[in-house]
Amino acid sequence: MTGKTKFAIVIGMEFVMKEYAYIRVSTTDQNEGRQIDAIADLNLPKGNIYIDKLSGKNFNRPAYKFLTKKLKKGDLLYVKSIDRLGRNYVEIQEQWRILTKEKGVDVIVLDMPLLDTRRGKDLVGTFLADTVLAVLSFVAEKERDNIKQRQAEGIAAARLRGVHLGRPIKRSPENFAEVVKLWECSKIDIEEALLRTGLKQATFYNRLREHRSGKRK
């Protein structure tokens, strides 16, 4: 028997237990490599590893939703850390409940060996896992809040120092005033003006407003 497919006998019937891994990263500032490295030694089939890459505002996890539909009672799910299951305390707790209670899936959190639902299926083991989960999900949410707070403080401090944030400001080309004068005199059309300045139309008009505003000062 090869791979990570295992068999068990339940009331004289055979069923297949499959192992999966879930990875979630933000496309803005994270790379899935660290999480992939963490599960590399598990020898999971490539098709059993599900990855969601999300923007900061998007939490519609298509891969996770597809995975949860495939998971069957007795299957095993690996995640690198508990905050991969949700963005905050409530979401993490809810997904843990759905996976372990409703679907009957075992979950292993690689960063925290205590969160391995294969161990201690009795009342004490379940209580210990749920308690550790509650603490870790609370800590994960607090850390996320702290990161946001530090980012906000950093942005505020940068602005006070006069540091420009966001996309770099594209300056007008040196021939902009000359081209504008020709265009205003109808000696060239807007297409020619854009060609000579190398600007897009929206940018050209933005620079034109700034140019005219500067003249009035």
Average pLDDT over every residue of 59-81: 90
Give residue 43's Cα distance to chain centre: 24
Name the percent of the chain lying above pLDDT 90. Answer: 14
Considering only residues 132 and 201, tell me which one the structure prediction assigns the higher pLDDT: 201
Catalytic annotation present for 26: yes
Please report where in the chains the tokens 């004490």 appear, as a residue.
124
**Cα–Cα distance between 74 and 88 in angstroms, integer?**
26
The model carries a pTM of 0.55
> For residue range 24-64, what is the model confidence (pLDDT) as tens digits?
887 555 556 778 788 877 889 989 999 888 765 556 788 99
CA distances from 188 to 41, 159, 183, 198 (A): 66, 41, 5, 15
Mean pLDDT rounded to a whole number for the chain: 76
User: Does 149 have pLDDT greater than 90?
Assistant: no
Catalytic residue among 26, 81, 137, 186: 26
Helices (DSSP H) in the chain: which residue ranges? Answer: 33-39, 62-70, 89-97, 123-160, 176-184, 190-197, 201-216
